[in-house]
Structure 1
C-alpha cells in the first residue's frame, strides 16, 4: 500500500521559485570587477532566470545539453545556475585557475556548445577558442553593452563561433511563463576534478542529489543558514557548486554576498563589514591570509560571527586565532565527488562541554556524518577499523549525494550501495567524529612507522614565525623516507630552522620530527587553493 501523500519532483528550480515567493525581498549583493556594488533580490533574480531560459533556447540549448560557465561569484552566475538547470540542461562550471590545456580538454570532453564568461577571462577564452571551433557555437560575456567594445581586440573568436553580450540578450528576451517539470534524477550540474592524477574527471550531479545535499547542509548541525543570515561564499561557484550555498541560501531566504574576483584580505574584510556579513565560507588559505592581515593591521570584525572551512585540514592555530577575534571557526569535509559535504564538526552531548585546549583539539577533526551519507575506514586487512580515534584506515563513503562514477567513463561506475574510496586516510573516534591523518599518497613512512604530514603542518603553523607549511617525504637511505618541512614566514618574521624543529618537541614522537626545515618565500598552490605537494616532491626529490 502506498501513502496518500502528494509527490513533487525535487528540482533545482523549486528553490528559486520558493525564494521569489516567500523571500522575494532577500538580497543578493555582488561586487563587480570595478568595485561597484550591485544589489538585486530573489524575486528579481527569478524573473531574470526565466528570461534567461528563453535566451538559452534561442542559442540552441536543449534538454541535457551542457552549458559552460567560466565565472566568479555574482548574481549573474547565480541566474545561470537556475536557468540552465531549470530548463533541463546541465550547468557545467569550469575552474579558470586550471591550465588552459585542461580547460580546453574539459570543454571538449563535456561537449559544451555555449560558454558564459566573465569579461576578465576574455584573454583565456581567446587563447583556447581555436581548439574548440568544432564544439563551441557561442561565447556570451557577462557584461553590459558598453563593456563589450574594449573586448574586441582581446576576444577574437574563430569563424562560426558567435560572440554575445549577456545583458543585451536578456533585454531582448521574454520571460518564460513557467519552469519545466521533469524527472528529478535528470543531470543538473557538472564539475571536473582538478586533475592532480591525470586528466580532470567529470562529476555529474542530479537535481535530486543537489536538493538533498542542500537540505542537509541547512540543518542546525551543519552550515545552518537562516532567513536572517548574511553569508559571503569566498569559495568560488566553480568549486563543487560553492559547496551547495547557491542552493542552500535561497532555500531559506538567506542573503548572499558575492565577492567577485577580489578575494584579497583588504577587499574581503571591507565587504564583510560593509554588508554586515555574519557567516563566510572558504578554504584555509583564505582564512590564513585574512588572519595575518588582521594581526598586522589591528583590524577587527564588526559583524562576522562564524566561518566554515573546507578543502583542506583546518589548522588548530587558525581555530585559536579566530577565537581570539571573536569568531567561531568550524569545518566540514568532502570532495568534488561528494557534492561535497559528507561530515561537519558540530558538537554532540559528549563533546558539547569541551573548553580551552580540549575544544581546539576537537575542532580540528573533520566532523561526523550528516544524515543521508555514511563513512567508514578500512584497515590493511580490509576490515572496518574500530571507532577508537586511533585505528587508522582508508576512508570511504556512500550516500544520496555521492558519485557512483565519472562522466563518460562507464568503466568507473560502482553499484548504488557501494562505498566510494576517497583516497583519504583517517581515524574515527567513539562519538563518530572523523579525523583525517593524510591523503594516502602524502603519508610519510619512516623506518616502518607512519607519519602524518597534516599533523606536522598543523603544528608548524602554530609557530609564531610561520604563516604556511608543507610536509613531504624525502628519500633516505637508512629509513626509506624522512619528513621534510617547507615553511613560509609570516610577514616581518624570519623563522630559524632549528627553532621550528625544536617547536615539535613533546608534540609528536621524536621519530616524526622533521629532519630539515626549509624556509621559502611561497608554496605552490593548485587550482583549488591546495598546496601542490607533487610539485614539492619533484623539487626536493634528492634532498637528504
Structure 2
C-alpha cells in the first residue's frame, strides 16, 4: 500500500479544489461577512507566506486569543500547514494563567482580537518570548504603547496567495496545542499532531458519530479556543460544509437568529448554552426546522432539556463526551437500531447517557477490584487510548498519574451497561461518599434540573461527623418560580432516589460559579457553601 502523510494542509486544499463556491459565514464586530472557500484558501496562503517571511519555523508556537470567526479559521490552517504549532488560548482565563501558558508554550507571535487586546496590553511586559502582536480587526489599529503591533488585514495583504504548503512535514509532528482550564494549579498543555487531528476529524464524519457531510451548515458555539471547537472547523472545511461562525460576545438571540437565517443543521456547545437558548426559543418565535442535531458536551445534559429539544422543538439532541486530552471526541450517544422500538422513557434514558465509544478508540472501566462488570451498576474510572488520545502533557511532569502504561486515566467515574453504553456518574474528586456508599452528584443534578422551576442546579458534599460526607443541592430558580421551596425540591426528588441519597439541604442562589468554558466550578461552589454555613 502507498504511504502518505495525514496533513492538515490537505484539508484546506481539498476545500479549495472541490468546494470553492461553498461559504464561511462569519459574524464580526462589523456585522456578518461571507467568504467562499476559494477566498478563504487564498487568504490562508497569504497568511502562511507572511508567517514564513516573519521567521516562524517548524515547531514554533503561535498563539491566538480570538473568538469564532473567519480569521481564526485561517489561522487554524495556515499555522500547522507550514509545520508550526497553533496554540489556542482561552480568553476567559485569569491574567496569571494567560501569562503562564504563553510563557510555558514559548509563543513567538500572538494573534489577538481587537476587543481582547486589552488583556494583552495588561500583561505584555511579562511575556518573555513574544516578538509581535497581530490584531484582528475590521477597524483601525487601537492606540497602544505596546511595541510591534500590526493589523491582520494589512499584514496578510502583502502575502502570496499562491504560496505552496511544504509537503515534507511528518504526520507525527505537532500541529496544535490547547491547555486545560485548570481548577487547581496551572493549566496543562496538550499537543495534537497532524495525524491525530486528521483521524479525529474523520471520526466526526462517521454516520454513527456526528455524521458530518458537505450538505451541513455547521455552527460551533463551543469556542475555537476550547479544544479546537471540538474539531468542527477542521472536519467542516475538509468536507466542504458551510460554516457559521457566531463571533464575539454572542447572545441567545444572536444564536437563534443565525440558526434561522443561515439554516444551521448542526450546532455544538455546553449545556449552559442550550439552557439559555431554550429560554430564548420559549420567549420568542424562531424557525429551527433546519437543525438535525444539537451536540452537547462538556458536562452532563439534564434529561428535561433533552426532552424539551426533541419533543417541543423536534430537534434531535446528541450527547457526546470528551476532554482536552481526547481531542476531544470519545463517545456519542445514539440508539442502536433495535433500541428505536423501546418505550419513549427508555429511549430518553439511553440518550441522556454519554453513549458508545467512537470507532478507533479503546476503553476500560476500572474499579478498586479491577475492571467492572458491564451491568450499568458497578462504578469505575474510565480509561482511554487511541490515535487521537494524548500520551503526556507539554513540558509538565504532572502527567505521571494521568498517563499510565499507555492509558489515559480520565478522572471520570462511570458505569457501562450490557450494551456498552457509558454513563458518567461523576469526577473522581466530586463523588460523595456517605456512610461508605457512593452518591453521584451528576445524577442528583440531572434530576434537579428536570424540575419545572429549576434553571440550574449543582450538588456538592459537606463534611458530616457521622456519615463522612453528605450532599447539599445548590439551586437557581427560573423567573416566575420564586415560591419553590426546599421542601418542594426534596419532595420532587424523593420518589427518584434512595432516602440516603437525598440532599441534606437546598441552598437557593442567584448564580452557580462556572469555569471559563461554562462548566460548573465546584471548587468555587464548595467555598460559597462553606461561607453560607459560616454566616447562618
Q: Which residue of the other structure, out of 23, 27, 47, is the alignment partner of 1:27? A: 23
Describe how 1:366-515 pairs up with structure 2 within 5 A: 366-381=354-369, 383-409=370-396, 412=399, 418-494=406-482, 495-515=484-504
| Residue matched to 2:3 | 7
Q: Does 1:147 align with 2:140?
A: yes
Paired with 2:314 and 2:282, the residues of 1 have a C-alpha distance of 14
Q: Secondary structure at the match of 2:493?
A: coil
Q: What's the offset of the Cα at 1:300?
A: 4.9
| Residue matched to 1:197 | 184
Q: What's the offset of the Cα at 1:481?
A: 1.1
Maintained 8 Å contact 2:252/2:276: yes
Paired with 1:415 and 1:192, the residues of 2 have a C-alpha distance of 16
Paired with 1:428 and 1:393, the residues of 2 have a C-alpha distance of 9
Paired with 1:124 and 1:411, the residues of 2 have a C-alpha distance of 28
Maintained 8 Å contact 2:49/2:163: no
Paired with 1:192 and 1:310, the residues of 2 have a C-alpha distance of 18
Q: How large is the Cα RMSD of the aligned pairs? A: 1.5
| Residue matched to 1:97 | 92
Maintained 8 Å contact 2:403/2:409: no
Q: Secondary structure at the match of 1:78?
A: helix
Deviations 1:69-98 (A, max 9, x none): 000111110101100000000000000000
Deviations 1:129-173 (A, max 9, x none): 1111x31110000124x431xx10xx321xxx4100000011112
Q: Secondary structure at the match of 2:371?
A: coil
Paired with 2:531 and 2:273, the residues of 1 have a C-alpha distance of 32
Maintained 8 Å contact 1:398/1:417: no
Q: Which residue of the other structure, out of 269, 275, 280, is the alignment partner of 2:262? A: 275
| Residue matched to 2:199 | 212
Paired with 1:295 and 1:482, the residues of 2 have a C-alpha distance of 36
Q: What's the offset of the Cα at 1:480?
A: 1.4
Gaps spanning 5+ residues in structure 1: where?
none
4+ runs of 1 displaced by more than 4 Å? 413-417
Maintained 8 Å contact 2:25/2:243: yes
* Greater Cα shift, 228-237 or 55-64: 55-64
Paired with 1:472 and 1:356, the residues of 2 have a C-alpha distance of 31
Maintained 8 Å contact 2:46/2:163: no
Paired with 1:512 and 1:438, the residues of 2 have a C-alpha distance of 14
Paired with 1:506 and 1:114, the residues of 2 have a C-alpha distance of 57
Relative to structure 1, the CA distance from residue 40 to residue 542 in structure 2 (aligned partners, 3 Å threshold; closer, same or farther) is closer
Paired with 1:297 and 1:362, the residues of 2 have a C-alpha distance of 31
Paired with 2:498 and 2:82, the residues of 1 have a C-alpha distance of 57
Paired with 1:416 and 1:460, the residues of 2 have a C-alpha distance of 36
Maintained 8 Å contact 2:217/2:244: yes
| Residue matched to 1:119 | 114
Deviations 1:457-511 (A, max 9, x none): 0000011110000000011122111110001111222121110111101111111
Describe how 1:175-324 pairs up with structure 2 within 5 A: 175-181=161-167, 182-297=169-284, 299-323=286-310, 324=312
Maintained 8 Å contact 2:327/2:389: yes
Paired with 1:351 and 1:302, the residues of 2 have a C-alpha distance of 25
Paired with 1:21 and 1:248, the residues of 2 have a C-alpha distance of 16
Relative to structure 1, the CA distance from residue 265 to residue 169 in structure 2 (aligned partners, 3 Å threshold; closer, same or farther) is same
| Residue matched to 2:527 | 538
Relative to structure 1, the CA distance from residue 508 to residue 236 in structure 2 (aligned partners, 3 Å threshold; closer, same or farther) is same
Q: Secondary structure at the match of 1:16?
A: helix
Describe how 1:153-164 pairs up with structure 2 within 5 A: 155-157=144-146, 161-164=147-150
Q: Secondary structure at the match of 1:483?
A: strand
Maintained 8 Å contact 1:300/1:325: no
Paired with 2:64 and 2:172, the residues of 1 have a C-alpha distance of 22
Q: What's the offset of the Cα at 1:299?
A: 4.5
Q: What's the offset of the Cα at 1:355?
A: 3.9
Paired with 1:18 and 1:220, the residues of 2 have a C-alpha distance of 21
Relative to structure 1, the CA distance from residue 543 to residue 168 in structure 2 (aligned partners, 3 Å threshold; closer, same or farther) is closer
Maintained 8 Å contact 1:350/1:431: no
| Residue matched to 2:102 | 107
Paired with 1:77 and 1:211, the residues of 2 have a C-alpha distance of 18
Maintained 8 Å contact 2:260/2:286: no
Gaps spanning 5+ residues in structure 2: where?
none
Describe how 1:28-43 pairs up with structure 2 within 5 A: 28-34=24-30, 36-43=31-38
Q: What's the offset of the Cα at 1:267?
A: 0.9
TM-score, with length taken from structure 1: 0.95
Paired with 1:343 and 1:199, the residues of 2 have a C-alpha distance of 27
Work out the number of aligned pairs and report it: 529
Relative to structure 1, the CA distance from residue 125 to residue 108 in structure 2 (aligned partners, 3 Å threshold; closer, same or farther) is same
